Structure 1
């Protein structure tokens, strides 16, 4: 019997977390454009079920749930950090200080030191950028297809590296670093590029901007570990590889949680389980 549900209503996806009768954590997601489907799923349970609700579009979902009296809204940042702490323990990580980078439609970056946390940075570059740029440049709208095709592409003839600028001369910084995302694209028309290469380069742009900002925050806060979370990373090995490699290159430790898109929903669930 399900007694409580945690819901994170994001700009693109609505994530749901609950414990089944055997105390196994169950995770689901729905498109946020179809909130009536989410409400129908919830109302299939008894009306007195405990609901923890968070996320940017939580107020919209609440309009579908007026009959539910046991509904509590949580500040998104608080719910996300609570979920991250739960997941870190579940994945056997023992550190207490970390930069938390939440890659949703945009990206929000937090400092976690023990039990204290605060938002320290953010950027409009995120999953919305990945989907939007991919659609505009290739006509492909589906996330799974973008990920699949990007894994087959190469950024080598679209991005401009530091070494490309110096033409074999000694570079003042690592020549393998990206000097300009899409910097070589002007040398040949876009229609002559393969969709795979373009999508790989979009992933590179998103990954490098987010990891660069996260690394700068980690240095400023004197923190080693950067925990990358968010639905944009789910089953997105190319993006995880870009972010992970760049973070390691800059002498910081990247952490990718097992269920990296569900931290907010898990935190919202825990608020009802723990009686907070």
Structure 2
């Protein structure tokens, strides 16, 4: 029997977490564009089920749940960090301090020190950027297709590297770093580029901006670990590779959670078992 549900209503996806009788954590999601479907799923449970609700579009979902009495709202940041801490423990990660980078439609960055957390930075670059730029440049707007095609693309003739600027001369910094995302695109029109290469380069831009900002925050906070979470990373191996390799290149340890898009929903669920 399900006693409680945690729901994170994001800009694109509504994520849900709950425990079944055997305490096995179950996760699923719905498109946030169809909150009636979410409401119908909730209605399949008994009326007195406990619901922890969080996320930017939580108020919209609440309009579908007016008759539900056992519903309470959690601040999104609090729910997400609670979920991250649970996931770190579940995944066998044993560190008490780290930077938490949540890549949703945009990106929010937090500092975690034991039980304390604070938002320290953020950027409008995120999953929305990935979808929007991909659609504008290639006409492809399905996330799964973007990920699949980008995996076989190359950034080598679209991005400009530091070594490209110095033309074989000694570079003052690592020559393999990106000097300008899409910096070589002007040499040939985008119409002559493959969709795979363009999508790979969009992933590169998103990944490098987010990891660069996260690394700067880790430097400022004197922290080794950067935990990258959010639905934009879900089954997105190309983006994880970009972020992971860049973070390691800058001498920080990247951590990717197994269920990286569900931290908010898990935190909202746990609040019902904590008696909040």
Distance, in Å, in 2 between the alignment partners of 1:273 and 1:199 is: 42
Q: Which residue of 2 aligns with 1:98?
A: 98
Distance, in Å, in 2 between the alignment partners of 1:161 and 1:116 is: 39
- Tell me which stretches of 4 or more aligned residues in structure 1 moved more than 3 Å: none
Q: Tell me the TM-score normalized by structure 2.
A: 1.00
Q: Which residue of 2 aligns with 1:144?
A: 144
SS at match of 1:200: helix
Q: Tell me the TM-score normalized by structure 1.
A: 1.00
- Give the superposition deviation at 1:273: 1.4
- Give the superposition deviation at 1:44: 1.0
- Give the superposition deviation at 1:213: 0.1
**Are 1:208 and 2:208 counterparts?**
yes
Write the deviation string for residues 137-168 of structure 1: whole angstroms up to 9, x where unpaired: 00011100000000000000000000000000
Distance, in Å, in 2 between the alignment partners of 1:121 and 1:158 is: 29
- Give the superposition deviation at 1:53: 0.1
CA RMSD of aligned residues (A): 0.4
- Give the superposition deviation at 1:221: 0.2
Q: Which residue of 1 aligns with 2:258?
A: 258
Write the deviation string for residues 40-76 of structure 1: whole angstroms up to 9, x where unpaired: 1001111110000000000000000001100010000
Q: Kindly report which structure 2 residues correspond to 1:72-221, keeping only aligned pairs within 5 A, or say none.
A: 72-221=72-221
Q: Which residue of 2 aligns with 1:9?
A: 9
Q: Which residue of 2 aligns with 1:52?
A: 52
Write the deviation string for residues 13-49 of structure 1: whole angstroms up to 9, x where unpaired: 0000000111100000011000110011001111110
SS at match of 2:34: helix
SS at match of 1:182: coil
**Are 1:235 and 2:232 counterparts?**
no
Give the aligned length. 276
